[in-house]
Structure 1
Amino acid sequence: MTPLDTPAAPSTASPADAPVLTIPADAPFFVVMNAGSGRRQTDATRAVLERELGGAGRRFELRLVDDPAELAASARMAVEDAIAQSGVVVGAGGDGTLCAVAQATLGSGCPFAVLPRGTFNYFSRDHGIPADLDASTRLLLTARAYPVQVGVVNGRMFLVNASLGLYPKLLEDRETYKRQFGRSRLIALLSAAATLLRRHRHLRLHIEHEGQMREIRTSTLFVGNNRLQLEQIGMKESALLEQGLLAAIAPRAIGRLAQIALSILGAAGRMSDADNVMSFTFRSITVTHPSKRRRRVKIATDGELAWLDMPLEFHVAPEPLFLLKPEPDIALANRS
């Protein structure tokens, strides 16, 4: 592993330094869920909410969103209602759904909670939130809201990661495979292998970091905001995320076989052993194309794809997300 730049010095203040919030005992819950996850999962979620929250005498509303394009608007309405009633907004789904709901709460001061219903659930696992639906629902009744860091690229928030280049293509192909063969980690791995075996273009990028400009040629630029995900692939920068930083990873321009070998190292948790990967930590960077022409690039944020105009401004959000999660010692024990 070779550094792209010297790691940024940790900041003395970060969004995570904000105070912990205690949730009122009668606070209602406004649960926003993507109905596209399926009738069975929706029915199971409703049943658990009625049993755990309704049984405890807590008011809740389950707001199902049939059209993913309406998810952001539904989340904003939930935040408005939660603020008016001193309640909590809850996202139910995978990391992409959680990010869309969290975006609406960021900067509002409204507490945010999650019910993990995805395949990988990196965000909830990193914060020690149980994957079991019953347990994560019961947690809503007792948890406090801790400030947690989120990343932003051109106004678009991400909880786990943001990327351009080959990684968005991997995600795009993965969704195609899932629609054909179902959702599972095995399908995700098979899809990734098929994508890596095809030809892919390399990116030429200028990265401005702490007043210095560096040109790189890479298959993908990956920006991580999740300790668990970075630890799993063996990135030493993972520990620095707790100090108010994001981590950037950029493989040097390599061929298909070398790319597959790099992916195997990552799967084995040994990516830091690779000589053809550049990495660094930062609070903010600007990414441009050497031509300086106006360009639109495909970006993936927490698994959701979008087209953004360059330059790309990646930075740590100045305000925290107030997340309901277990107390620190319990959260650490629950991480997996």
Structure 2
Amino acid sequence: MTSTSPCPIPPDAPFFIVMNGGSGRHDVNEVQQTIQRTMAEAGRQHTVHVVTDASRLAAAARSAVKQAQARGGVVVAAGGDGTINAMAHATLGSGCAFGVLPQGTFNYFARTHGIPTDTEDAVRLLLSARAHPVQVGQVNDRVFLVNASVGLYPQLLEDREAFKQQYGRSRFIALISGLVTLLRQHRQLRLRIERNDEVRELRTPTLFVGNNLLQLQQIGLSEAQCLDRGMLAALALRPVGTLSMFWLMLRGAFGRLGDAENVHTFAFRRILVKPRWPLGRRRMKVATDGEVMRMRPPLQFGVAVEPLMLLKPDAVEAVA
């Protein structure tokens, strides 16, 4: 189904929905009943597979894609940005259309593409929307729809998940965990970044690559508009102390991070990132859409050759 323009979905196409039972603050049974009721009222064939063990999410995604390919159906992710990432990773290049029922805390991907956070409204959108090509980022063999990063940001995400396990899921808890992370000492990465014929050496606590217009606009990066030109936006912090780090965090909260003195930003289509420490070949922590994994360098960031065919409104207005 890969195309550069919107494609209609056959009115009898079945939906294969994988739902992460641990995403967000929603009642799983209530959400599942809403999905099934709304689909049944429209007379659409569908299956809902609830995954309660995150380690089985990738396998469930692959199974849903195989079923959708066999029956000309649509693959649907019901969960937060991490769940959507796992489902998109399995769907990209399969020829299947992709749908989203946002259930997470931040829902950057869904909000950027005008997909309602109300479950019933999001299901009704699936029933009527066309599939639009959406840019996908990649770091080595992993996709990202919102962002990818190394250094401090993956550590922040790990700390945030630990806080959520103990105190619950909310934006306030995410903020507190971020403050706690910043109070610790930060390891400085020495990175060699190759872009086209240009080579740059950076010493930074974190390298952040964005692929989401709403998030980039919220923190104040002028490079946000580069996404419309098939590019990604990168941000690297220069080495700073704890107080300066807090100041940068506040600037980001008020949408003014991009013009800070201690921030280096640039747009690109493809870069190669190599660590310069003595054990430069050991695996690095890399975060993609909120999920942390280890990858062996060098790390190649770029735009995927194929887009993801996403069911979304024809006239999109990002939800703030």
Q: Give TM-score scaled by structure 2 length.
A: 0.96
Q: For 2:292 and 2:15, locate their aligned partners in 1 and report how far apart those are by CA, in whole Å.
A: 29
Aligned to 1:82, what secondary structure does the other structure show?
helix
1:39 CA drift (Å): 10
1:1-336 counterparts in 2 under 5 A?
A: 18-37=4-23, 41-291=27-277, 293-328=280-315, 331-332=316-317, 334-336=318-320
1:254 CA drift (Å): 0.8
Question: For each residue in 1:22-49, what CA deviation from the matched residue of structure 2 results, as whole angstroms up to 9, or x when unmatched?
Answer: 1000111000012234896221121111
Amino acid at match of 1:156: R
Q: For 1:218 and 1:150, locate their aligned partners in 2 and report how far apart those are by CA, in whole Å.
A: 25
The answer to whether the 8 Å contact 2:182/2:245 transfers is: yes
Q: For 2:27 and 2:298, locate their aligned partners in 1 and report how far apart those are by CA, in whole Å.
A: 40
Q: Percent identity?
A: 56
1:64 CA drift (Å): 1.4
Q: Give TM-score scaled by structure 1 length.
A: 0.92
Question: For each residue in 1:7-62, what CA deviation from the matched residue of structure 2 results, as whole angstroms up to 9, or x when unmatched?
Answer: xxxxxxxxx97132110001110000122348962211211112211111001100
Classify 1:38/1:18 alpha carbon distance in 2 versus 1 (closer, same or farther; 3 Å): closer
Q: For 1:180 and 1:108, locate their aligned partners in 2 and report how far apart those are by CA, in whole Å.
A: 38
Amino acid at match of 1:305: V
Aligned to 1:22, what secondary structure does the other structure show?
coil
Classify 1:38/1:273 alpha carbon distance in 2 versus 1 (closer, same or farther; 3 Å): closer
Amino acid at match of 2:215: Q
Classify 1:222/1:54 alpha carbon distance in 2 versus 1 (closer, same or farther; 3 Å): same
Amino acid at match of 2:51: V
The answer to whether the 8 Å contact 2:135/2:303 transfers is: yes
Amino acid at match of 2:308: L
1:13 is aligned to none
Taking CA–CA contacts closer than 8 Å with sequence separation of 6 or more, which of the two structures ends up with the larger relative contact order?
1
Q: For 1:70 and 1:17, locate their aligned partners in 2 and report how far apart those are by CA, in whole Å.
A: 31
Unaligned runs of 5+ in 1: 1-15
Amino acid at match of 2:307: P
Amino acid at match of 1:138: R
Amino acid at match of 2:313: P
Classify 1:201/1:101 alpha carbon distance in 2 versus 1 (closer, same or farther; 3 Å): same
Unaligned runs of 5+ in 2: none
Equivalent residues, number: 318
Amino acid at match of 1:152: Q
Q: How much is the aligned-residue C-alpha RMSD, in angstroms?
A: 1.5
